[in-house]
Structures are given as C-alpha cells and as structure tokens.
C-alpha cells in the first residue's frame, strides 16, 4: 500500500510540475490528511507511514527543481507551516515555536519536519501553488489569485486531490495591456 502511495505522490507532483510554471525558488504548499488517504475521516487516523511514503514520492522532485515545500499543519497547530529555514529566510517569514507530531500538526507535516535539513514553523505564507490532499483547506496559504488545476492523478489512496497555481493580478481595466 505504501509503495502505491509513494508512486501516486510522484505521479501527482510530476504532472503538477509539468502543467504549471513553478520555477526554481517558488513555494508550493501541500496540505495532507493521511486519514483520508487511508479512507477514514480527516483527523481520525493519522498514519505516519503513509506520510513518509507520500513525502518520498514528492520531495525529491521538488528538491531537484529547487522548489520549496511548505507542509501545512492541522488545526491543532493553527495550520502553521513547516518550511526549510532557508525558505523562511528567503521569504522573510517569521518563525514560531512548535514541533508537529502526528496527532498535533499531522503526519505529513511531521514527516517533512523530520526529513528537512533545517525545519522551522511559520504562521502564514503566500505560496505560488498548492496541493490539497484530503480536504485540508490550503487556500489561506496561496497568493491572492489562485487558479484551479485539474490533474489526471486526482487521488492519493482514497483521498481526493485539489490543486491550484497562482498568477499575478490583472489590473488597469479595458485599456491595459498584459504580458503573455
């Protein structure tokens, strides 16, 4: 089962990166309910092994492209985010003090915290894109103009997947000219 989750995570992130314009230095937020991946109700069956498998499928491809991963914690940590300290510094995000655990922060956030080389938590971000696995409500962490993105890999385990990327605001009215 965990090999399937890892393969689905890899397919998901591969398709996402293929269909978006995320560049090196971009920030991608991922919210994940391992309970939902296992077919349970969100928040009822946190599964660290599932989170580890998903992380193993996703993170290497992001790291290879120089894209920063932000892992959203659950509501017990007020949806704080786990980042590499390098990313927090690059985006001028203020660190907060907490350490996620599977039932207080969530298993995916815990896996990221465990595997990042220098993890920190921050309270809020404005990400360039996002992936919501299992209905974790990541929208609050995206830049203002989020564009929905449908992927063929629209599940991980039994959890539904919703994706978005962001674009700059279009301003200026009918006489404005926009770059492609």
Mean pLDDT per 10-residue segment, the chain (180 residues): 95 97 96 94 91 97 97 93 97 96 94 98 97 95 95 95 93 78
- What's the rounded Cα separation, in Å, for the pair 103 and 106? 6
Residue 180: predicted pLDDT: 67
Q: Which of 108, 52, 128, 113 is nearest to 83 (CA)?
A: 113
Residue 34: predicted pLDDT: 95
Residue 120: predicted pLDDT: 98
- What's the rounded Cα separation, in Å, for the pair 18 and 25? 16
* Structural domains present in the chain: 2-166 (3.40.50.10360)
Residue 63: predicted pLDDT: 97
Model confidence, pTM: 0.93
The answer to whether the CB of 133 falls within 8 A of the CB of 55 is: no
The answer to whether the CB of 116 falls within 8 A of the CB of 108 is: no
CA dihedral 164, 106, 124, 65 (to 10 degrees): -50
Task: Copy the structure tokens of residue 124.
Answer: 């809020």
């Amino acid at each position: 089962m965990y090999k399937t989750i890892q393969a689905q995570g890899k397919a998901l992130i591969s398709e996402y990166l293929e269909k978006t314009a995320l560049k090196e230095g971009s920030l991608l937020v991922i919210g994940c309910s391992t309970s939902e991946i296992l077919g349970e109700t969100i928040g009822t069956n946190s599964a660290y092994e599932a989170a580890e498998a998903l992380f193993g499928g996703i993170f290497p491809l992001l790291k290879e492209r120089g894209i920063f991963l932000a892992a959203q914690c659950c509501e017990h940590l007020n949806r704080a985010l786990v980042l590499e300290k390098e990313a927090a510094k690059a985006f001028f995000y203020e660190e907060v003090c907490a350490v996620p655990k599977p039932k207080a922060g969530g298993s995916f956030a815990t896996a990221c915290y465990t595997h990042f080389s220098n993890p920190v938590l921050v309270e809020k971000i404005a990400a360039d894109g996002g992936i919501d696995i299992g209905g974790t409500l990541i929208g609050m962490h995206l830049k203002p103009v989020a564009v929905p993105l449908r992927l063929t890999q629209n599940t991980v385990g039994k959890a539904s997947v919703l994706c978005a990327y962001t674009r700059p605001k279009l301003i200026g009215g009918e006489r404005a000219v926009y770059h492609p």
